[in-house]
Protein backbone atom coordinates (compact mmCIF):
# COMPACT_ATOMS: atom_id res chain seq x y z
CA UNK A 1 0.00 0.00 0.00
CA UNK A 2 1.49 3.36 -1.10
CA UNK A 3 0.02 6.82 -0.50
CA UNK A 4 0.71 9.85 -2.73
CA UNK A 5 -0.12 13.49 -2.18
CA UNK A 6 -2.15 14.64 -5.20
CA UNK A 7 -4.07 17.48 -6.80
CA UNK A 8 -4.30 20.99 -5.46
CA UNK A 9 -1.78 20.59 -2.65
CA UNK A 10 0.98 19.63 -5.11
CA UNK A 11 -0.10 22.24 -7.67
CA UNK A 12 -0.21 25.10 -5.19
CA UNK A 13 3.13 24.19 -3.62
CA UNK A 14 4.77 24.26 -7.04
CA UNK A 15 3.14 27.65 -7.71
CA UNK A 16 4.29 28.99 -4.36
CA UNK A 17 0.72 29.53 -3.19
CA UNK A 18 -0.53 29.00 0.39
CA UNK A 19 -1.32 25.32 0.94
CA UNK A 20 -4.95 24.22 1.13
CA UNK A 21 -6.39 20.81 1.91
CA UNK A 22 -4.06 17.86 1.46
CA UNK A 23 -5.58 14.91 -0.40
CA UNK A 24 -3.97 11.54 -0.96
CA UNK A 25 -4.38 8.64 -3.38
CA UNK A 26 -3.69 5.15 -2.08
CA UNK A 27 -2.44 2.49 -4.50
CA UNK A 28 -2.59 -1.24 -3.82
CA UNK A 29 -5.12 -1.22 -0.97
CA UNK A 30 -8.62 -2.50 -0.33
CA UNK A 31 -11.39 -0.84 1.72
CA UNK A 32 -11.02 -3.60 4.29
CA UNK A 33 -7.29 -2.95 4.65
CA UNK A 34 -7.89 0.78 5.10
CA UNK A 35 -10.48 0.19 7.81
CA UNK A 36 -8.23 -2.36 9.53
CA UNK A 37 -5.52 0.32 9.64
CA UNK A 38 -7.89 2.67 11.48
CA UNK A 39 -9.09 4.82 8.56
CA UNK A 40 -12.77 5.85 8.65
CA UNK A 41 -14.74 5.48 5.42
CA UNK A 42 -16.72 8.56 4.33
CA UNK A 43 -17.05 8.19 0.54
CA UNK A 44 -20.52 7.28 -0.67
CA UNK A 45 -19.89 6.94 -4.42
CA UNK A 46 -16.30 5.68 -4.21
CA UNK A 47 -13.87 4.64 -1.45
CA UNK A 48 -12.63 7.71 0.47
CA UNK A 49 -11.24 7.47 4.00
CA UNK A 50 -10.19 9.86 6.75
CA UNK A 51 -6.77 9.40 8.34
CA UNK A 52 -7.16 8.38 12.00
CA UNK A 53 -4.67 11.01 13.15
CA UNK A 54 -4.78 13.97 10.76
CA UNK A 55 -8.35 13.67 9.40
CA UNK A 56 -6.97 14.17 5.88
CA UNK A 57 -8.67 12.41 2.96
CA UNK A 58 -7.22 9.25 1.46
CA UNK A 59 -8.97 7.91 -1.66
CA UNK A 60 -8.29 4.54 -3.24
CA UNK A 61 -6.87 4.79 -6.76
CA UNK A 62 -9.75 4.49 -9.20
CA UNK A 63 -10.84 4.69 -12.80
CA UNK A 64 -14.13 5.95 -14.21
CA UNK A 65 -16.27 4.82 -17.13
CA UNK A 66 -18.94 6.98 -18.74
CA UNK A 67 -22.38 5.42 -18.26
CA UNK A 68 -24.84 8.26 -18.92
CA UNK A 69 -25.29 11.96 -19.58
CA UNK A 70 -24.22 14.71 -17.23
CA UNK A 71 -21.49 14.94 -14.63
CA UNK A 72 -22.94 12.12 -12.51
CA UNK A 73 -23.17 9.52 -15.28
CA UNK A 74 -20.07 7.49 -14.34
CA UNK A 75 -19.27 4.03 -13.05
CA UNK A 76 -16.30 4.08 -10.65
CA UNK A 77 -13.89 1.17 -10.40
CA UNK A 78 -11.45 0.97 -7.48
CA UNK A 79 -9.31 -2.04 -6.53
CA UNK A 80 -5.65 -2.77 -5.72
CA UNK A 81 -4.80 -3.30 -9.42
CA UNK A 82 -5.49 0.34 -10.39
CA UNK A 83 -2.20 2.17 -10.88
CA UNK A 84 -1.32 5.72 -9.90
CA UNK A 85 -1.01 6.68 -13.57
CA UNK A 86 -4.49 5.32 -14.30
CA UNK A 87 -5.89 7.36 -11.42
CA UNK A 88 -4.12 10.53 -12.58
CA UNK A 89 -5.36 9.97 -16.14
CA UNK A 90 -9.00 10.49 -15.07
CA UNK A 91 -8.27 13.96 -13.66
CA UNK A 92 -9.30 17.17 -15.39
CA UNK A 93 -6.18 19.25 -15.98
CA UNK A 94 -2.52 18.38 -16.23
CA UNK A 95 -1.69 20.78 -13.39
CA UNK A 96 -4.02 18.73 -11.16
CA UNK A 97 -2.64 15.38 -12.34
CA UNK A 98 0.67 15.56 -10.47
CA UNK A 99 1.42 13.30 -7.50
CA UNK A 100 4.16 13.41 -4.89
CA UNK A 101 5.51 10.41 -3.02
CA UNK A 102 6.59 10.25 0.62
CA UNK A 103 10.13 11.33 -0.36
CA UNK A 104 8.88 14.43 -2.19
CA UNK A 105 9.48 13.04 -5.68
CA UNK A 106 6.99 14.04 -8.35
CA UNK A 107 5.02 11.60 -10.47
CA UNK A 108 3.97 13.67 -13.48
CA UNK A 109 2.96 11.50 -16.44
CA UNK A 110 1.06 14.25 -18.28
CA UNK A 111 3.48 17.18 -18.10
CA UNK A 112 1.65 19.16 -15.44
CA UNK A 113 4.80 20.73 -14.01
CA UNK A 114 5.78 22.04 -17.44
CA UNK A 115 2.29 23.49 -17.89
CA UNK A 116 2.59 25.18 -14.50
CA UNK A 117 5.84 26.78 -15.64
CA UNK A 118 4.24 27.82 -18.95
CA UNK A 119 1.10 29.05 -17.15
CA UNK A 120 -1.20 26.89 -19.29
CA UNK A 121 -4.45 25.22 -18.24
CA UNK A 122 -4.63 22.07 -20.39
CA UNK A 123 -6.93 19.05 -20.18
CA UNK A 124 -5.38 15.66 -19.46
CA UNK A 125 -7.07 13.64 -22.18
CA UNK A 126 -10.16 12.83 -24.19
CA UNK A 127 -12.08 11.76 -21.06
CA UNK A 128 -12.34 15.47 -20.19
CA UNK A 129 -15.23 15.72 -22.64
CA UNK A 130 -17.24 13.13 -20.71
CA UNK A 131 -17.93 15.48 -17.79
CA UNK A 132 -19.65 18.81 -18.62
CA UNK A 133 -18.87 20.16 -15.16
CA UNK A 134 -15.25 20.45 -16.24
CA UNK A 135 -16.14 23.37 -18.49
CA UNK A 136 -17.17 25.31 -15.39
CA UNK A 137 -14.15 24.06 -13.48
CA UNK A 138 -11.86 25.40 -16.20
CA UNK A 139 -13.52 28.79 -15.93
CA UNK A 140 -13.35 28.73 -12.15
CA UNK A 141 -9.66 27.84 -12.19
CA UNK A 142 -9.06 30.76 -14.53
CA UNK A 143 -10.75 33.09 -12.01
CA UNK A 144 -8.09 32.03 -9.56
CA UNK A 145 -5.09 31.61 -11.84
CA UNK A 146 -5.50 34.41 -14.41
CA UNK A 147 -3.70 36.89 -12.10
CA UNK A 148 -0.69 34.57 -12.30
CA UNK A 149 -0.68 34.77 -16.08
CA UNK A 150 -2.47 31.53 -16.92
CA UNK A 151 -4.33 30.97 -20.17
CA UNK A 152 -6.48 28.11 -21.46
CA UNK A 153 -4.70 25.91 -24.01
CA UNK A 154 -6.09 26.28 -27.52
CA UNK A 155 -7.01 22.61 -27.76
CA UNK A 156 -8.76 22.73 -24.39
CA UNK A 157 -10.77 25.79 -25.40
CA UNK A 158 -11.79 24.04 -28.62
CA UNK A 159 -12.89 20.96 -26.68
CA UNK A 160 -14.89 23.14 -24.27
CA UNK A 161 -16.67 24.76 -27.24
CA UNK A 162 -17.58 21.34 -28.60
CA UNK A 163 -18.92 20.31 -25.20
CA UNK A 164 -21.04 23.46 -25.00
CA UNK A 165 -22.39 22.86 -28.49
CA UNK A 166 -23.40 19.31 -27.56
CA UNK A 167 -25.99 20.69 -25.13
CA UNK A 168 -24.78 18.50 -22.30
CA UNK A 169 -24.22 21.50 -20.00
CA UNK A 170 -28.00 21.49 -19.58
CA UNK A 171 -27.54 18.25 -17.59
CA UNK A 172 -25.60 20.01 -14.83
CA UNK A 173 -27.39 20.16 -11.48
CA UNK A 174 -28.17 23.65 -10.13
CA UNK A 175 -26.21 22.90 -6.98
CA UNK A 176 -22.98 22.17 -8.86
CA UNK A 177 -23.35 25.19 -11.14
CA UNK A 178 -23.88 27.39 -8.09
CA UNK A 179 -20.91 25.83 -6.31
CA UNK A 180 -18.56 26.64 -9.18
CA UNK A 181 -20.03 30.14 -9.63
CA UNK A 182 -19.73 30.98 -5.94
CA UNK A 183 -16.12 29.83 -5.84
CA UNK A 184 -15.33 31.89 -8.93
CA UNK A 185 -16.93 35.00 -7.42
CA UNK A 186 -14.77 34.54 -4.34
CA UNK A 187 -11.61 34.32 -6.46
CA UNK A 188 -9.27 37.17 -7.39
CA UNK A 189 -10.52 37.68 -10.96
CA UNK A 190 -14.15 36.65 -11.51
CA UNK A 191 -14.11 38.27 -14.95
CA UNK A 192 -11.87 35.43 -16.15
CA UNK A 193 -14.65 32.98 -15.21
CA UNK A 194 -17.17 34.87 -17.32
CA UNK A 195 -14.78 35.41 -20.22
CA UNK A 196 -13.65 31.78 -20.30
CA UNK A 197 -17.25 30.54 -20.40
CA UNK A 198 -18.20 33.06 -23.03
CA UNK A 199 -15.25 32.16 -25.27
CA UNK A 200 -16.36 28.53 -25.01
CA UNK A 201 -19.95 29.40 -25.88
CA UNK A 202 -21.00 28.12 -22.45
CA UNK A 203 -22.07 31.29 -20.64
CA UNK A 204 -25.45 31.33 -22.36
CA UNK A 205 -26.10 27.78 -21.15
CA UNK A 206 -25.41 28.38 -17.46
CA UNK A 207 -25.97 32.13 -16.98
CA UNK A 208 -28.16 33.32 -19.86
CA UNK A 209 -29.21 36.44 -17.94
CA UNK A 210 -25.57 37.53 -17.73
CA UNK A 211 -24.68 36.46 -21.26
CA UNK A 212 -27.49 38.68 -22.58
CA UNK A 213 -25.64 41.78 -21.29
CA UNK A 214 -22.79 41.45 -23.77
CA UNK A 215 -23.18 43.73 -26.76
CA UNK A 216 -25.69 45.98 -24.98
CA UNK A 217 -24.44 49.59 -25.22
CA UNK A 218 -24.46 52.16 -22.41
CA UNK A 219 -24.02 55.93 -22.45
CA UNK A 220 -20.33 56.67 -22.95
CA UNK A 221 -20.31 59.68 -20.60
CA UNK A 222 -21.14 57.35 -17.70
CA UNK A 223 -19.66 54.13 -19.05
CA UNK A 224 -16.53 54.69 -21.16
CA UNK A 225 -16.33 50.92 -21.64
CA UNK A 226 -19.71 51.11 -23.49
CA UNK A 227 -20.50 47.36 -23.43
CA UNK A 228 -22.60 46.26 -20.46
CA UNK A 229 -20.97 42.84 -20.36
CA UNK A 230 -17.54 44.45 -20.11
CA UNK A 231 -18.87 46.68 -17.33
CA UNK A 232 -20.15 43.70 -15.32
CA UNK A 233 -16.76 41.99 -15.66
CA UNK A 234 -15.08 45.12 -14.28
CA UNK A 235 -17.59 45.41 -11.43
CA UNK A 236 -17.03 41.79 -10.42
CA UNK A 237 -13.26 42.28 -10.37
CA UNK A 238 -13.62 45.50 -8.37
CA UNK A 239 -15.88 43.70 -5.89
CA UNK A 240 -13.20 41.03 -5.53
CA UNK A 241 -10.70 43.79 -4.76
CA UNK A 242 -12.93 45.61 -2.24
CA UNK A 243 -14.23 42.44 -0.54
CA UNK A 244 -11.75 39.62 -1.20
CA UNK A 245 -13.25 36.16 -0.95
CA UNK A 246 -16.80 37.44 -0.42
CA UNK A 247 -19.15 35.67 -2.84
CA UNK A 248 -22.19 37.45 -1.35
CA UNK A 249 -20.80 40.80 -2.49
CA UNK A 250 -19.60 39.19 -5.71
CA UNK A 251 -23.00 37.79 -6.65
CA UNK A 252 -24.69 41.17 -6.11
CA UNK A 253 -22.01 42.77 -8.29
CA UNK A 254 -22.59 40.17 -11.01
CA UNK A 255 -26.36 40.70 -11.13
CA UNK A 256 -26.88 44.39 -10.37
CA UNK A 257 -27.44 45.40 -14.02
CA UNK A 258 -29.41 42.44 -15.40
CA UNK A 259 -32.24 44.79 -16.40
CA UNK A 260 -30.10 46.44 -19.07
CA UNK A 261 -30.50 43.37 -21.27
CA UNK A 262 -34.24 44.08 -21.37
CA UNK A 263 -34.04 47.71 -22.51
CA UNK A 264 -35.95 48.15 -25.82
CA UNK A 265 -33.59 48.78 -28.74
CA UNK A 266 -35.11 52.17 -29.54
CA UNK A 267 -34.17 53.46 -26.07
CA UNK A 268 -30.51 52.47 -26.20
CA UNK A 269 -28.01 53.50 -24.96
CA UNK A 270 -30.21 54.88 -22.16
CA UNK A 271 -31.49 52.41 -19.58
CA UNK A 272 -34.29 54.18 -17.76
CA UNK A 273 -35.80 51.90 -15.12
CA UNK A 274 -33.27 49.12 -15.56
CA UNK A 275 -32.90 48.73 -11.80
CA UNK A 276 -36.51 47.57 -11.49
CA UNK A 277 -36.51 45.65 -14.76
CA UNK A 278 -33.60 43.60 -13.46
CA UNK A 279 -35.54 42.13 -10.54
CA UNK A 280 -37.46 39.55 -12.60
CA UNK A 281 -34.42 37.99 -14.33
CA UNK A 282 -32.54 38.09 -11.03
CA UNK A 283 -35.29 36.18 -9.25
CA UNK A 284 -35.41 33.69 -12.13
CA UNK A 285 -31.65 33.12 -11.92
CA UNK A 286 -31.81 32.67 -8.14
CA UNK A 287 -34.68 30.20 -8.38
CA UNK A 288 -32.98 28.16 -11.11
CA UNK A 289 -29.62 27.87 -9.34
CA UNK A 290 -31.13 27.61 -5.84
CA UNK A 291 -29.07 30.59 -4.72
CA UNK A 292 -28.75 30.87 -0.92
CA UNK A 293 -30.94 33.46 0.77
CA UNK A 294 -28.09 35.72 1.90
CA UNK A 295 -26.78 36.05 -1.66
CA UNK A 296 -30.24 36.53 -3.16
CA UNK A 297 -31.38 39.15 -0.66
CA UNK A 298 -28.34 41.40 -1.09
CA UNK A 299 -28.48 40.98 -4.87
CA UNK A 300 -32.12 42.11 -4.93
CA UNK A 301 -31.33 45.14 -2.77
CA UNK A 302 -28.32 46.12 -4.89
CA UNK A 303 -30.21 45.68 -8.17
CA UNK A 304 -33.11 47.82 -6.98
CA UNK A 305 -31.23 50.52 -5.05
CA UNK A 306 -27.83 51.10 -6.66
CA UNK A 307 -28.89 54.25 -8.51
CA UNK A 308 -30.38 55.67 -5.31
CA UNK A 309 -27.09 55.09 -3.49
CA UNK A 310 -25.15 56.80 -6.28
CA UNK A 311 -27.21 59.96 -5.66
CA UNK A 312 -27.50 59.57 -1.89
CA UNK A 313 -26.28 63.13 -1.25
CA UNK A 314 -29.29 64.51 -3.16
CA UNK A 315 -31.95 62.46 -1.36
CA UNK A 316 -34.19 63.91 1.32
CA UNK A 317 -33.76 62.55 4.83
CA UNK A 318 -37.13 60.78 4.67
CA UNK A 319 -36.16 59.13 1.39
CA UNK A 320 -32.88 57.91 2.88
CA UNK A 321 -34.73 56.50 5.87
CA UNK A 322 -37.13 54.61 3.65
CA UNK A 323 -34.28 53.28 1.50
CA UNK A 324 -32.61 51.88 4.63
CA UNK A 325 -35.92 50.38 5.76
CA UNK A 326 -36.53 48.75 2.36
CA UNK A 327 -33.13 47.14 2.63
CA UNK A 328 -34.00 45.84 6.12
CA UNK A 329 -31.07 47.88 7.36
CA UNK A 330 -32.50 48.42 10.83
CA UNK A 331 -32.93 44.71 11.55
CA UNK A 332 -29.84 43.65 9.56
CA UNK A 333 -27.38 46.54 9.91
CA UNK A 334 -24.54 44.77 8.09
CA UNK A 335 -26.55 44.85 4.87
CA UNK A 336 -26.06 48.60 4.42
CA UNK A 337 -22.28 48.24 4.51
CA UNK A 338 -22.55 45.42 1.98
CA UNK A 339 -24.75 47.56 -0.28
CA UNK A 340 -22.23 50.41 -0.08
CA UNK A 341 -19.46 48.08 -1.24
CA UNK A 342 -21.47 46.77 -4.19
CA UNK A 343 -22.32 50.31 -5.28
CA UNK A 344 -18.68 51.37 -4.98
CA UNK A 345 -17.71 48.39 -7.15
CA UNK A 346 -20.35 49.49 -9.68
CA UNK A 347 -19.02 53.05 -9.83
CA UNK A 348 -15.34 52.09 -9.98
CA UNK A 349 -15.90 49.12 -12.29
CA UNK A 350 -15.75 51.34 -15.37
CA UNK A 351 -13.02 52.09 -17.89
CA UNK A 352 -10.59 54.58 -16.38
CA UNK A 353 -12.44 54.89 -13.05
CA UNK A 354 -10.82 52.11 -11.03
CA UNK A 355 -9.18 54.61 -8.69
CA UNK A 356 -12.07 57.09 -8.53
CA UNK A 357 -13.29 58.10 -5.06
CA UNK A 358 -16.74 57.01 -3.95
CA UNK A 359 -17.86 59.34 -1.13
CA UNK A 360 -21.43 58.06 -1.45
CA UNK A 361 -20.45 54.85 0.33
CA UNK A 362 -19.11 56.64 3.39
CA UNK A 363 -22.09 59.00 3.43
CA UNK A 364 -24.55 56.10 3.31
CA UNK A 365 -22.77 54.47 6.25
CA UNK A 366 -22.83 57.71 8.28
CA UNK A 367 -26.52 58.34 7.59
CA UNK A 368 -27.32 54.76 8.50
CA UNK A 369 -25.30 54.96 11.73
CA UNK A 370 -27.13 58.15 12.75
CA UNK A 371 -30.52 56.56 12.17
CA UNK A 372 -29.49 53.34 13.86
CA UNK A 373 -28.45 55.24 16.99
CA UNK A 374 -32.10 56.11 17.59
CA UNK A 375 -34.08 53.26 19.17
CA UNK A 376 -37.58 52.68 20.47
CA UNK A 377 -36.30 52.84 24.04
CA UNK A 378 -35.36 56.48 23.47
CA UNK A 379 -39.07 57.23 23.01
CA UNK A 380 -40.34 55.34 26.06
CA UNK A 381 -40.45 58.42 28.23
CA UNK A 382 -42.92 60.07 25.87
CA UNK A 383 -45.68 57.70 26.93
CA UNK A 384 -46.40 56.45 23.41
CA UNK A 385 -47.93 53.08 22.60
CA UNK A 386 -48.83 50.91 19.63
CA UNK A 387 -48.50 52.44 16.15
CA UNK A 388 -47.53 55.77 17.70
CA UNK A 389 -44.15 54.32 18.69
CA UNK A 390 -43.36 53.32 15.12
CA UNK A 391 -44.42 56.69 13.76
CA UNK A 392 -42.40 58.57 16.37
CA UNK A 393 -39.37 56.33 15.76
CA UNK A 394 -39.50 57.07 12.05
CA UNK A 395 -39.68 60.84 12.70
CA UNK A 396 -36.78 60.69 15.15
CA UNK A 397 -34.62 58.68 12.76
CA UNK A 398 -35.39 61.03 9.89
CA UNK A 399 -34.35 63.94 12.12
CA UNK A 400 -31.09 62.17 12.98
CA UNK A 401 -30.41 61.59 9.28
CA UNK A 402 -31.19 65.21 8.51
CA UNK A 403 -28.65 66.36 11.08
CA UNK A 404 -25.73 64.61 9.34
CA UNK A 405 -23.66 66.94 7.12
CA UNK A 406 -23.84 65.80 3.48
CA UNK A 407 -20.61 67.38 2.25
User: At 1, is the pLDDT very low, low, confident or very high (cuts 50, 70, 90)?
Assistant: confident
Give 358-375 pLDDT, tens digit per residue. Answer: 999 999 999 999 999 997
pTM of the model: 0.92
| pLDDT for 62 | 86
Give 134-183 pLDDT, tens digit per residue. Answer: 999 999 999 999 999 999 999 999 999 999 999 999 989 999 999 999 99
Q: Which CATH number describes the domain made up of 1-124?
A: 3.30.460.10
Q: Is the pLDDT of residue 351 over 50?
A: yes
Give 255-281 pLDDT, tens digit per residue. Answer: 999 999 999 999 999 999 999 999 999
Q: Is the pLDDT of residue 326 over 90?
A: yes
For a pLDDT cut of 90, what percent of the chain falls above it? 84
Q: Looking at 34-43, 67-76, 208-217, 223-232, which range is the least confident one?
A: 67-76
Whole-angstrom Cα distance, residue 179 to residue 132? Answer: 14
| pLDDT for 388 | 76
Q: Where are the domains of the chain?
A: 1-124, 132-201, 207-363
Give 103-146 pLDDT, tens digit per residue. Answer: 999 999 999 999 999 999 999 999 899 899 999 999 999 999 99
User: At 74, is the pLDDT very low, low, confident or very high (cuts 50, 70, 90)?
Assistant: very low
| pLDDT for 240 | 98
Q: Average pLDDT, whole number, for the chain?
A: 93
DSSP conformation letters of 314-354: GS-HHHHHHHHHHTTTTTSTHHHHHHHHHHHHHHHSSTT-T
Strand partners, 48: 59
Q: Is the pLDDT of residue 221 over 90?
A: yes
Evaluate whether 62 touches 78 at the Cβ level (below 8 Å).
yes
Evaluate whether 295 touches 253 at the Cβ level (below 8 Å).
no
Give 297-315 pLDDT, tens digit per residue. Answer: 999 999 999 999 999 999 9
Whole-angstrom Cα distance, residue 106 to residue 83? Answer: 15
- Residue 87's closest CA among 178, 5, 180? 5
| pLDDT for 73 | 47
Whole-angstrom Cα distance, residue 241 to residue 43? Answer: 37
Is 132-201 in the same CATH topology as 1-124?
Answer: no
Q: Which CATH number describes the domain made up of 132-201?
A: 1.10.110.30
Whole-angstrom Cα distance, residue 325 to residue 371? Answer: 10
Amino acid sequence: MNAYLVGGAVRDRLLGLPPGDRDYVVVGATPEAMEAAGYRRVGRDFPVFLHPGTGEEYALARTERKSGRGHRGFVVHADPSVTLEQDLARRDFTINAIAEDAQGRLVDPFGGAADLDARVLRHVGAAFAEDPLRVLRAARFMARLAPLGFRVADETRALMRAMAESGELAELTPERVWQELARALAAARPSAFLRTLREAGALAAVLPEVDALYGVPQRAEYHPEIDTGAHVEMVCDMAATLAPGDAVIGFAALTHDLGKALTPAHRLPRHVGHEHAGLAPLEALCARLKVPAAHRELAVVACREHLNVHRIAELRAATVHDLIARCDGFRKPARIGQLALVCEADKRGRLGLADAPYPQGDLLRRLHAAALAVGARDLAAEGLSGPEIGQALRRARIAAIDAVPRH
